Structure 1
């Protein structure tokens, strides 16, 4: 679940069949990087360790809990961009004789609200025969009752992208059944608020239900136009081989310029880091691809055993990744051990925050979606911001200012920059501040100044004297 939340970074999470008390939910909420406390969650405790619901939301989300029962959590959300709407997380009665209570509950909620409304969860019912594979046919009256309930409430199925079935019984020796029991449904006026919204069926992992995502801030269906860029990782300096990699890359070709040397260091570090550190993301994707292949193939005992084995491998991989990151930040753990609550909360929140801009509002108040439109809006803004405007000649103003510089002051300003001045300026730079376009932060230059200092100093001296970055 942790890796799933890191991947999706949802603003609101609705969980069903948690089998957790309120206190246990708080612990999980904190571990997974969400703000803890009643101000950021609502919980329905299980009965005899069965059932249980919870909803979490991130700081900055304006959410008000309206009602809570054993089968629903009903909330009101205020989006400053589109207004107020309602979300109801539903866990439908599973037994056929009790399903009428689910439909009655939805009708009552509908009578209380005529604004934008989104419902999501496990309805424990299919809408049509093609939403079930294997086992006995679903009784037509129960499907009709479900559809009539949705029609009464003005709720329309949101559709989905991904594997069509959201639940299976995991039986490996015959009797395998798959159904689409989980879904999002919304009113027409809710869909008008979020015309770009889509529902995703994600990969199922260690659960009989598949996680669903309703993406309200969807960008256009296109790949981002930017690529991953290199960043010098502070963790690398702790590795015993790092200094050797940089020294060898820097010393090759003594006639190379600074930019060529930095490029060579970047290329060598990228190749070395792939060997020195495990690529958990790539390993996860490999297992997920294998699971998707099994899902789309006819279900046999052998394939279901393979799925169980792959899920166990994923659990082991995520445990190893968690330990890896724990060791990576061990210094911070030790340093902040007595005040870890705020420290780890901040670390977890920052680590999970997405940097992608999904939409942007222009200075004219118009919203833009998609990579190309967002990029164009940003470029237009800064072009306008830094556009030169006609200005009167400064000569009359400058002529009226008395000269304060004597020959000695002028000589001091024009003398060559000393190595000590460059070193002092470097020491004053924040080691872990954002790197430059080449991906190297001040930490890189500080840590390996003994290797690169002479060449960097010579480059800076020549550049200041002649202007531009010279080949030295």
Structure 2
């Protein structure tokens, strides 16, 4: 660990902080054996801080692994829009994981006795219509599961809570399997290109210091958090006014009585007497 800390210091890396739950690792499905710790962290150099001043690091919900994913958002709210309209019909393999997909195909195929091309065209229309409603149901289902997972993760780890937590994680795992199939189909056209065209960045240290010194939230005396600028300014002003305001001490002798003497009375008399010229001369020489 000493070598690890030395490497972090030599590379001038700093903790990126986090948003969300306080822990990143959890073990044990029963309250008697449940352990939670923050084992996973994000570290970055000053040049990275300067390059991405509006970043956020969020602890996401974890379902498959004991460790929760850490999502680093380098773009903030200026990222590209994800609203893409697909033209034509494209089959998604994750539809096979839906319980009602086979029923939709069977009903559409047996609805007419036309030739195969006509049946395929009719099937495409029916599946596209079904898919539009499927996206909304998936989003609602995932949102409900994520909300419930967050509530259970912050609750006291009792046996009933951990049992329900396991069921919710299994349901989210199925949703993740559907997403994984979706992206596996598109893996051939989504390879990241190695390297970056922008090989040199000239960013001042001021940007790094501004991000590092920025306060995103403050804790009140009652333990609650505040993230609005005006409210944080009021909390900081009140805190420092109380901190630097002199308070009258009722009886300072009570403090002195708690201090244990470390020198004798004779030593105290010797230390407090007038300094002689000979003592000054010996000290200087």
Q: Which has the larger radius of gyration?
A: 2
- TM-score, normalised to structure 1's length? 0.29
- TM-score, normalised to structure 2's length? 0.45
Q: Which has the higher contact order (CA 8 A, sep 6+)?
A: 2
